[in-house]
Amino acid sequence: MNKIFLLGALLFTFSACDNDSATKKTPDAPGCRGNMNPTQVMGNWDVVPYQIIDSTFETGVVAFHEEGVAVVFFANGQELGRVTEPTLNPRTGVHEYWVSVDPEDYDDGPVTITATIEPQCEGHISRELEPLVLYANSAGSLTNDNIRWVDCSLGDDTADGSEGTPYATIEKAFTEVGDGGTVHLKAGHCYKLTNNLPASDYTYWTTVRPAPGVTRDEVSILAAGNDESSTGRFGENMVRWQDVAIYKEVSEGYSTIFYFESGHHVWFDQAELYDALGQWNGGNPLNGNSPYYAYYTGAYVHDIMNAGYRFGRDVTMDNIGSDVFRGVSGILSVNLVVNSIDRGDTEAHPDFFQFYNPDSTVDNVVVYNTKVYNMGAQGIFGGEGEIRNVAFVNLLMEKDPADSALLSQITGDWDHVLLWHVTTVDSSFFLRELSQLRNFFIQNCIFSTLSAGPTVELPHFIIENTMVNGLVWDQPSALGENALVGDPLYVDEPNDDYHLRSDSPAYRAGAPLPGVVADVDGNERNTSAPSLGCYD
């Protein structure tokens, strides 16, 4: 069955199923639209793995699909529950699908949590998440209460590492504290990391943090410098860098703050990462080759060239010199704020999110609740390679300067994309090479402009309830159903307040989307008529 809508000068043709080898949906099933190809859900764990849990632990998944999703959770093979609507997770502060894991229900030791994300409509494709390992510790047998102290100016590695006679180096304390222990750093800006220790075989997170009463501003750690005193190769496994500032100061060529080997895990928890020589010095937080695992929670990344991650929650970035993200599979970003992307006088080609992956496939990317200000960049850019199952939900992108030629360009081989509650300010959105773009859902958005060039046929798109600030020469009428053209009437655009005024034509002009129960700031959306854009 085909549905054809004639909207202005544009012809939209929606095919129920163009792929004969795929399982067809059941259009009559509850909630099923029945007007696109079968697609796979996208989502991932909103949890840092390998944590020791002493009390009830809320374990969540962020997931989206145009038909809605349900998430089925298991622990050690026993079902924990089936969650059909996202709610506020009290541990993360995120509206997501979650269940509670009680360590008292298990012997002390590993608990393997699995989850299946199911589409709420037959014929679409589920996703099995990689198993998540936590460690139950209700009896306390896994607790390591060891603490070693470090003072980079007055310490001595031949001392005993107590508060009164601390070590001089983090390496010594990390080796001596043992698996799952804690290293306390006294105030100082003289800490340097080397690779002068054997690779650890730790199983649990071992924490390096400021000593009690010491703030992040009082502790800075040089991870990569210009001489052999700090090499950038302290790529130890299972380190939780908590509430410390870590930086590089390498003056020539591209370099990283840390270099990690294959299989290593690192957690930046409330940590600060930066290049002391500025955002145009060619610095990256981590190396990009080995398949290591990095987790960012509450982190602050600034004055760096490229800044992306695979897992991040509550992250702030300032002064980025090139790309925030580059396309890799399995990205989950929740609650990100970016202030300023500026290439300066460099040869960089900046993007907020660059999908350029020749001869490879990027799959399962979720960017949820994101605000980008002063964006001297293209926004979302697509290039060579295959892009599959991508969701941008509650996204604000403000371009600066407003009159630059930079714009979001979707080009390449894309299949299954959600652009939901997106707001772009002074930043245009261009759908290019439409023959390679399939299963797009562009809904409840506000764009400066949204265009598809001179082509008038979009056979694999649903565009509904959108608003554009204006039209362009190659897009003489607005795309989609219930399209609006005009001024969105923001509360205070000169001061970057892009909430809608109550008299805005975009206010309460949307339709509910499955699983989007809150706006970019976590405020619950109107359940019957949400506003367009990232704010409700």
How many helices and strands in the chain, by DSSP H and E?
Answer: 1, 43
325: β partners: 353
pTM, entire model: 0.93
The H or E element that residue 462 is part of is strand 461-464
What does DSSP say about strands 467-468 and 484-485: parallel, antiparallel, or unpaired?
Answer: parallel
- Counting Cβ atoms within 10 Å, is residue 62 exposed (0-12), middle (13-18) or buried (19+)? buried
| pLDDT at position 33 | 67
Residue 459 tokens, joined: 């056979």
**C-alpha to C-alpha distance for 480 and 462, rounded to whole angstroms:** 7
Q: Establish whether the linkage from the previous residue to 49 is cis, with ω within 30° of 0.
A: no
Per-residue HEC secondary structure of 286-301 comes to ECCCCCCEEEEECCEE
What's at 267, amino acid-wise? W
SS3 81: strand
Residue 210 tokens, joined: 């400021």
Residue in 221, 200, 199 with CA at minimum distance from that of residue 210: 221
CB-based contact 36:460 (threshold 8 Å):
yes
What's at 206, amino acid-wise? T
Q: How many CB atoms lie within 10 A of CB 196?
A: 12
Query: Which residues, given as ranges, of the chain have pLDDT below 50?
Result: 1-28
What's at 512, amino acid-wise? P
| pLDDT at position 384 | 85
Query: For residue 206, how far is the Cα from the chain centroid?
Result: 24
Residue in 310, 253, 312, 261 with CA at minimum distance from that of residue 283: 253
DSSP string, 394-443: EEEEEESSTTSS--EEE-SEEEEEEEEEEEEES--EEE--GGGEEEEEEE
SS3 469: coil
**C-alpha to C-alpha distance for 352 and 324, rounded to whole angstroms:** 5
CB-based contact 357:327 (threshold 8 Å):
yes
CB-based contact 412:433 (threshold 8 Å):
yes
> How many residues appear in the chain?
536
Residue in 96, 36, 112 with CA at minimum distance from that of residue 62: 96
DSSP state of 175: H
Residue 219 tokens, joined: 């502790």
CATH class of the 42-136 domain in this structure: mainly beta
DSSP string, 297-344: ES-EEEEES----SEEEEEEEEEESS-SEE--TT-EEEEEEEEEE--T
DSSP state of 494: G
CB-based contact 142:135 (threshold 8 Å):
yes
**C-alpha to C-alpha distance for 235 and 257, rounded to whole angstroms:** 10
- Say which residues have a Cβ less than 8 Å from residue 20's Cβ, sequence separation at least 6: none
SS3 18: coil
For tokens 């107590």, name the residue: 162
Residue in 292, 379, 300, 304 with CA at minimum distance from that of residue 328: 292
For tokens 């800044």, name the residue: 307
- Say which residues have a Cβ less than 8 Å from residue 447's Cβ, sequence separation at least 6: 422, 424, 428, 429, 466, 467, 468, 469
CB-based contact 248:276 (threshold 8 Å):
yes
SS3 170: helix
What does DSSP say about strands 437-443 and 413-425: parallel, antiparallel, or unpaired?
Answer: parallel
| pLDDT at position 34 | 56
| pLDDT at position 369 | 98
- Residue 174, phi then psi, degrees to nearest 5: -65, -40
In the chain, where the domains are located: 42-136, 144-305, 323-536
End-to-end CA distance of the chain: 36
DSSP string, 489-507: -EEEGGGTEEEEPTT-TTT
